[in-house]
Structure 1
């Protein structure tokens, strides 16, 4: 499980796996401090490539001798999925070609799609008529807008456009 320090320390994913019968010894967690921000600020990915390789090496160093065979790799931060190919490449460079990468962004997007379709009474073969708007409680630095837009565009042109035209809404931080 790769995630931010907050995600890893919350133990949410680890606890869920343990409750479903996965032995604690089979769960390897790797906190990746600052990686999400680094992904946001590295449009070419050269710096991030080295950082991901570092975190993959750190995670692999936790493998015990009995852990062989295919690995399941969970990308526990939305930003990490934007660089899924770099994670895969890093594992391959370390000699692990049999990996399955679990990208929760895809499941979350599919879940939201189903909610929208149910709300609109649409059938699953019909594309729902929705519009996207990106709201942020603070101004997003220009470098992050450029990088994340580039990473979002191949996944969803509409989402990238919404992100580029973000509306600042400080009231989102109000309690």
Structure 2
């Protein structure tokens, strides 16, 4: 089964929000290190890597603006694929499903930000399309909300998402089967 790595919204904005009065991304350093491990594994297996980029029509998160770009330590290589999205669902009003089909992808390893929004929605939609979905649980993150800590949000969504995906740490993800 051919797998692809789907990196959801790992853009500059969530990593710098704390510098502008926002909240701190939970376990940021581990998130980057573990995602780099997944990228290295996918490259070694020659699996497609797709960066899904949350995009706004105007403003600092519009195309090619500094906060829109993938965070530097995880920057895409020229051969990687970029998919612009305007909704939480990476498949909604995008060509992602077609792109994956063109690459004969049957399985997805999904990671990214925020687990309770874009990652959750994308995992469920990928499942509904029939992909074999794996969620790299140490490669997802979010922020504290007013009601719950980031750790509580992540734990809750991992529990819910196990109905739609295998939940694995990055060191157990395999791209060659």
Bigger relative contact order, structure 1 or 2 (CA pairs below 8 A, ≥6 apart): 2
Higher helix share: 1
TM range (shorter): 0.3 to 0.5
Q: TM-score scaled by structure 1?
A: 0.38
Structure whose alpha-carbon radius of gyration is higher: 1
Q: TM-score scaled by structure 2?
A: 0.37
